[in-house]
Structure 1
Amino acid sequence: MSDHNNHSSIISLYESQHNEKDRVNSHDHQTHQILYALEGHGTCTLDNKTFGIERDSFIIIPPFTEHSITAQSKMTVLVLEFDACELSEDVQSQLIPEVFQRSVVKKVSMFDSSDLRQLLRKMLYEQSHGDRLWQLALKVYMSELLFTIARAAHDFTQADTNSLRAERLRNYIDSRYFEIKNAEDIADRMGMSKRYIQSIFKEQYELTPMQYLTEVRLGLVKRLLVETEKDIVSICFEAGFESLSTFYRLFKKQVGVPPNMYRQRQKSV
């Protein structure tokens, strides 16, 4: 992690670099913090809830929020730390409650991320090379940044983000059920962590991705058993099961009877 600037300021912006598998252990701060991921991906735990981090993710950390970060690749994060009491009354009364109403990871649009990156660049410049008005400049840019995040939140909330990603995961499983090997395979192909996809998928559908995958495969198996004369081995292979014994065990556990008996019963109805 790079050192803080020597200037004394109510607003501090610095770079934090992490190697793959680095972990910042759980801790909290008295100040408000906004972390911005410049590159890489990982996970962040905020008050025992885990979120995925990727490029252009914003981590909103209210004061006294327990948080930790785990890097899953080389990751660079800008850390913006400030004392809200020193900002203008309008910012304190309107923007701070809006942006920091809860600890969360946000992903803004490409348009907003460009604006936010530009504001962060200006703040870094003022902090390092600014003239006698540099502290005032930081407050102005800080207000702009908070406004941009607050405005973006109305259009694209974290709940929406997780919902859309869970739906994307479901669509992926629906269309690629025959080639998925395990949860790590899904996570790698989607560019997210295993823990993150488990969390958002279960929150949305009350199943893990692998439980849903089994449901999709068994649904196809039941349809093929009833609508075709294909043998059990072919159906098992077509549905994506690697092992016949695993397939029989899962089918009997979920359906209650072996595949052959299920076929006979359904065709006699």
Structure 2
Amino acid sequence: MTLRRIDLLTHGIHLYESNHLDGDVVEEHHHEIHQILYAVKGAGTITLDGKRQKFLQDSAAFIAPRSNHAVFSESGLTLLVLAFNVTAFDSSAASGLLQSSFPSSAFLRLNPFSAADLRQLLRKMLFEQSHRDEFSAWALHIYMFEFLLALARSSQSALVTDSNALRAERIRNYIDRHYFEPLTAGDIAARLGIGTRHVNNIFKDHYRLTPIQYLTEVRIRLAKKLLIETEKDIASVCFEVGYETLPTFYRAFKNIVNMSPNMFRQQNKHENEPDPAGQADGR
């Protein structure tokens, strides 16, 4: 098989575009470094260590060093190729993540939320490569690690055949992981590639709440826990659970709990204080 060399620049990471016209073939070859292929548009087929897989938009493939692979483009296949050498990472965390999650080459099936996160990280890496300053190398390594982490967490279930039940579950799981971000129903709909009203209907059919109502419940549930179990300032609690302003946090909290965060903390701290008399009596 052919060995092809890729210039990884000085920081050991290189992200570049690979365009393939209809009918183009990249013959089977391998590299001495890691690669991740991400399909931006078009359709084609990738052969990876003898296994053949259809490659459509938002498909990904993890290619380990010396793993034989070939590409066939059926219709204008555009790939982003993320090439890297694990020795470029100062931290052992990246190599550990690779060993545990990607011990060998693999095709990766991405759900819409994972795909949206990965696309955003790729955009950030492209920006750092084209607008270099004294922090660009650090940024590339950080985004590279985030990218690997997002891949490791990505769902392996099929993308196109999602039932509404699976979509609702994925929305819920996404909110559980991203409740601290400024999420809107429009953001969630855009990641799924469907309309906001449809997203609300899918979620409400399964959980009797809209996604934003569920997001509020998740945030307030965590806020209650923090108010009871920690001495954190209410402004810090507000920030940690994802609210940008205190008035918004107070309003959401009072709508669900029927009291202010201050009153809730005072009431529950008092109720959970140990009974001095009981301690003295050994009870």
Shorter-chain TM-score bucket reads 0.5 to 0.7
Q: Which residue of 1 aligns with 2:94?
A: 91
Maintained 8 Å contact 2:39/2:55: yes
Maintained 8 Å contact 1:44/1:68: yes
| Count of residues in correspondence between the two structures | 156
Task: Provide Cα deviations, 1:51-81, integer angstroms capped at 9, x if missing partner.
Answer: 1100000111000000000001001100000
Verify: 1:45 aligned to 2:47, yes or no.
Answer: yes
Which ranges in structure 2 are unaligned for 5 or more consecutive residues?
A: 1-5, 163-283
Task: Provide Cα deviations, 1:235-259, integer angstroms capped at 9, x if missing partner.
Answer: xxxxxxxxxxxxxxxxxxxxxxxxx
Other structure's SS at 1:73 match: strand
Q: Which residue of 1 aligns with 2:149?
A: 147
The runs of 4+ residues in structure 1 deviating greater than 6 Å are none
Letter in 1 for 2:92: E
Q: Which residue of 2 aligns with 1:216?
A: none
Query: RMSD of the alignment, in Å?
Result: 2.2
Which ranges in structure 1 are unaligned for 5 or more consecutive residues?
A: 166-269
Task: Provide Cα deviations, 1:96-140, integer angstroms capped at 9, x if missing partner.
Answer: 123422222212111111111110000011011121111111000
Letter in 1 for 2:148: L
Maintained 8 Å contact 1:26/1:68: yes
Verify: 1:26 aligned to 2:28, yes or no.
Answer: yes
Alignment of 1:202-217 (within 5 A): none
Task: Provide Cα deviations, 1:141-187, integer angstroms capped at 9, x if missing partner.
Answer: 000000000011xxx32xx449x79xxxxxxxxxxxxxxxxxxxxxx
Higher relative contact order (CA 8 A, sep 6+): 1
Maintained 8 Å contact 2:110/2:158: no
How many Å separate the matches in 2 of 1:125 and 1:111?
A: 22
Maintained 8 Å contact 2:8/2:83: no
TM-score w.r.t. length of structure 2: 0.52
Q: What's the CA shift for 1:90?
A: 1.1
Other structure's SS at 2:104 match: coil
CA shift in 2, pair 1:98/1:73, >3 Å: farther
How many Å separate the matches in 2 of 1:111 and 1:145?
A: 13
Letter in 1 for 2:15: L
TM-score w.r.t. length of structure 1: 0.54
Other structure's SS at 1:64 match: coil
How many Å separate the matches in 2 of 1:89 and 1:6?
A: 20
Q: Which residue of 2 aligns with 1:108?
A: 110
